[in-house]
Chain A
Amino acid sequence: MSIQDASAQEASVEDARVEDASVEDASVEDASVEDARLATTAGDLQAAELDGLVALNYGLNSFLEPHAVFVLSGVRPIGESAVVVDRAGTSTLIVTPAWDAERAAALSRTATTIGTDDLARALADALTAHRIDPRKTITVGLSTLGVGLVKRIEAALGGKVHANDTYARELARIRAPRELAAARKATWIAERGYEHFLSFARPGRREFEVAAELHCFMKGLGAEDNFLLLSASQHNLAVRAAGSRILDVGDIILSEITPCYQGQFAQICRTTVIGDPSPLLHERFALLQQAMRCGQAAAVPGASVGAVTQSMDDCLAAAGYGDYCRPPYMRVRGHGLGITSDAPGDLTIDSDARLEDGMVFVMHPNQYLPETGYLMCGEPVVITAVGAEALSERPAALDCISV
């Protein structure tokens, strides 16, 4: 890689925790992930004859973007942060607010950790301490910061410097064993959450009450974050965040359940009917399941993302829904998952990204169909030699809540 490629209920939580013992241990000691990445970065700097790399984050934890500071340090800081790496491999983590330094230092794989309330100034001091010439420095993630902070950092760096915003994404594009185990654990949490949801959601409850219960249940299982969309309608146009709608018989509940465990988001997409689903709904949902299987089979190492997407679209087109394989009837057929690396990016027919063994992302042929409305079907997958292996134990089915 070239560094200059500039392009519920407490009881149920306890039950789930006991069952958790059967899941692969995601906390297995594997500190070498960040150590190896820091060493690779130093090697890339030497090869490019650069002095240093500055990775930055704005205090955001997008499930669709890499978090360059987390990738290199193993720490998810509270506020704006940076990692400085020099060509000798020495590294410094800078976190805000200053009071978070102690926690960050205990977790960080960098040689040094600094807490500050002025990131730009601390960064300038760190570059001096590392004897890094800003003119021989590359930034990662500076473009994700607000322009106010960007200007202060550029002033600290003595002006604009070269950027490579895809560096962290590429560096971490294959999940390390510890990260894959965490992704599996996140998936396990999502599935337990969905089971809990099936027992909790019922007519009379409001969407936000169900979402709140689901969120807290999964947090009780260790999920530090959650991109959770949950909404209902008799005819959905799309999934959205929970509102105040009171659930009732005949509602189709869409849920995009995305817990994060130790920095690994995993997403399952589910469709649930209150009451008995119609035969037509069963039939149309089966189309999405078929598209999912086609996508999984096509997603082998070396396959292009565009081709995998096309294989899913073809299933829907064959059933007469080719015109619906575009926004606003769908968005993408899946996407990478932060906060480590969002590779391979969005699953769209235009993407020429290539899949690699060990990549983790979500595949979801979610689709609006005129007869049924929007339906959701998706799993987190890892690329293997024979296709995309779902990390979930039970693939999406059209589930119903008895009334």
Chain B
Amino acid sequence: MRTVQPCTMIGAYGFEQDRVPGDEFQIRMNALREAMDRKGCKAMLVYGDTREHSALAYFTNFIPRSRWALALLPRQGEARLLVSMSSRDMPAQRLMTWIPEVVTAWNWESGFDPWLAGLGWDAPLTVGAVRFDLMRPAQLQAVEKSLGNRLRLIAADDAAAARPTRPRELSLIRDACTVVSAGAGAFLRAWRDGQGVETAALAGERAARALAAQDVRTLVSFDGGHTLAPFRGSFEPRSKSTPLFGYIAVKHRGYWAELFVGAADQPNDVQHRVQAGLEAALRSAGPGASAADLYAQSTQFLGRTPLHHVLGGSVGRRIGLSTNEGSELRRDARHVIKTGDVYALHVGASDPPMAGAVASAMVAITTNGCEVLAQSPG
């Protein structure tokens, strides 16, 4: 789900080696080096910003709290991380990555050029670029200027996109699911206790942040579930006739988990149908299942009621270091589900004047089906 991007990430984030030790990054870097060899690259430059940093975090553990960072990862030699923050802030940035050399990107020539020179100039070089589509034009110009004519920059997004979910990643996603379940539960309880929808969402956020969530995003419906809205701050009292429809996503140790939250004093037909749709999705989700089939199975119970428009035509997608790791489950999707993937599944409908609803779950694809990691509280 798209949510409003906050200006910074507030919660604690560091390089917790008991959870993601250095040898884990050696494995990830070895895979990246193999990709460099396949592509004939002397190095990979991996970019991430405060909004989207999945690849950057995967290889470096670093998440930019504001602005951006660029990892300089050579085939041979020392890695370096350039962070778009002041030199004053570098000691704190060094706590978030295994890369020993973390320098400010604000002195570009002294941060990037000496590292580049270390690659050697004996022959024309090719350097792979990951997520440069996110980079601001002026920054790209600075990179290209430093590379000059003797170095060739090639897109290498596939090197990062094809990565499998590592066992330790799944463990961390389980933790995130525990936190989002606690947040969603608090959200629902506050509403059932008579709180208005924004107060209830804030209760959910508070519960998740108390469990060390680094970021919490919520959306709520003020119109009975037809659409969602970000924080308004009006904290209106609960309307007895309006059902609850909301969304909560948490980021914990870098990994996202998300759930929709819904309830009504008098459950209606739409709510029953979306729940049946989710159950069908859970039965169908397994290795080798076609994404398009999964979409069809999930939506068959909706009848002529359209898929809820907040879902953007999809009943799910992979989730992890980003809320959207791709592989969306759409009517026209062509991929198949793979063992080890983690999906956020959402089946929803809106049928005015009846209330809208979405039932959701977080699942890990196993060898013979899927394991439910979290589910909308009921």
State whether these chains interact: yes
Chain A residues with a Cβ under 8 A of chain B: 58-63, 76, 78-79, 96-100, 102-103, 117, 143-150, 206-209, 211-213, 215-216, 219-220, 222-229, 231, 237-238, 240-244, 258, 260-261, 265, 327-331, 338, 368
Considering only residues 1-51 of chain B, those with a C-beta below 8 Å from chain A are 2-14, 50-51
Closest beta carbon of chain B to A397's beta carbon, Å: 24
- With beta carbons under 8 angstroms apart, the residue of A117, A208, A215, A265 that contacts B12 is A208
- With beta carbons under 8 angstroms apart, the residue of A99, A103, A223, A227 that contacts B8 is A227
Whether the pair A243, B310 counts as a contact (CB closer than 8 A) is no
> Chain B contacts of A229 at CB under 8 A?
8
Q: Does B228 contact A (CB under 8 A)?
A: yes
**Per-position binary interface string of chain B over residues 222-250, scored 1 when its CB falls under 8 Å from any chain A CB and 0 otherwise:** 00000111110101000000000000000
Closest beta carbon of chain A to B128's beta carbon, Å: 16
Considering only residues 180-231 of chain B, those with a C-beta below 8 Å from chain A are 199, 202, 205-206, 209-210, 212-213, 227-231
Closest beta carbon of chain B to A67's beta carbon, Å: 11
CB-nearest residue of chain A to B14: A243
Q: Known A78-B230, A212-B210, A224-B231; judge A146-B7 contact (CB<8 A).
A: no
Q: Does B90 contact A (CB under 8 A)?
A: yes
Whether the pair B12, A244 counts as a contact (CB closer than 8 A) is yes
Q: Known A60-B51, A79-B2, A226-B7; judge A238-B12 contact (CB<8 A).
A: no
> Chain A contacts of B212 at CB under 8 A?
208, 244
Whether the pair A331, B88 counts as a contact (CB closer than 8 A) is yes
> Chain B contacts of A219 at CB under 8 A?
202, 205, 231, 233
> Chain B contacts of A225 at CB under 8 A?
4, 6-7
Whether the pair A216, B202 counts as a contact (CB closer than 8 A) is yes
- With beta carbons under 8 angstroms apart, the residue of A147, A244, A265 that contacts B140 is A147
Distance in angstroms between the alpha carbons of A150 and B228 in the assembled complex: 28
Whether the pair A328, B86 counts as a contact (CB closer than 8 A) is yes
Q: Which 5 A-B pairs have the closest CB atoms?
A: A148-B133, A212-B209, A240-B92, A208-B12, A222-B233
Chain B residues with a Cβ under 8 A of chain A: 2-14, 50-51, 65-66, 86-92, 95, 132-138, 140, 199, 202, 205-206, 209-210, 212-213, 227-231, 233, 235, 309-310, 312
Whether the pair A226, B10 counts as a contact (CB closer than 8 A) is yes
Distance in angstroms between the alpha carbons of A58 and B2 in the assembled complex: 13
Whether the pair A60, B8 counts as a contact (CB closer than 8 A) is no
Closest beta carbon of chain B to A337's beta carbon, Å: 11
Whether the pair A241, B5 counts as a contact (CB closer than 8 A) is no
Whether the pair B12, A103 counts as a contact (CB closer than 8 A) is no
Whether the pair B87, A328 counts as a contact (CB closer than 8 A) is yes
Whether the pair B205, A327 counts as a contact (CB closer than 8 A) is no
**Candidate in A63, A219, A228 with the most chain B CB atoms within 10 angstroms:** A219
- With beta carbons under 8 angstroms apart, the residue of A99, A149, A212, A223 that contacts B11 is A212
Q: Known A59-B51, A208-B212, A331-B86; judge A215-B10 contact (CB<8 A).
A: yes
Q: Known A78-B3, A208-B212; judge A241-B202 contact (CB<8 A).
A: no
- With beta carbons under 8 angstroms apart, the residue of A145, A240, A260, A330 that contacts B136 is A145
Distance in angstroms between the alpha carbons of A62 and B229 in the assembled complex: 20
> Chain A contacts of B8 at CB under 8 A?
63, 226-229, 241
CB-nearest residue of chain B to A240: B92
> Chain A contacts of B233 at CB under 8 A?
219, 222-224, 261
